[in-house]
Amino acid sequence: MADPTVAELKQKIAQAREVIAHLMAKAAFNGAEAHRALEYFSSDAFDRDFLPWPHADEGLRPEELNAANDD
């Protein structure tokens, strides 16, 4: 924890959690996925599969899956 990079990353994650909580409150969005995000960013654990869509090297991103984007 003495490494300033680790400390800064922990602070950045704490900021991300605050932003998510603020956006949830502003949007009156209190769903399970929002709470899942808050819990994830409150923890020190890393989950490579946290994102609900494939990683860049594994397939399409959400905007690429949207049928409205079809030409």
Give the model confidence (pLDDT) of 2-50 as tens digits: 577 988 988 988 898 888 888 888 887 778 888 888 888 888 888 888 8
pLDDT of residue 64: 65
pLDDT score of 71: 47
Judge if pTM exceeds 0.85.
no
Q: Give the tokens for residue 4.
A: 């300033």
State how far Cα 46 lies from the chain centre: 11
SS (H, E, C) 11-71: HHHHHHHHHHHHHHHHHCCCCHHHHHHHHHHHCCCCCCCCCCCCCCCCCCCHHHHCHHHCC
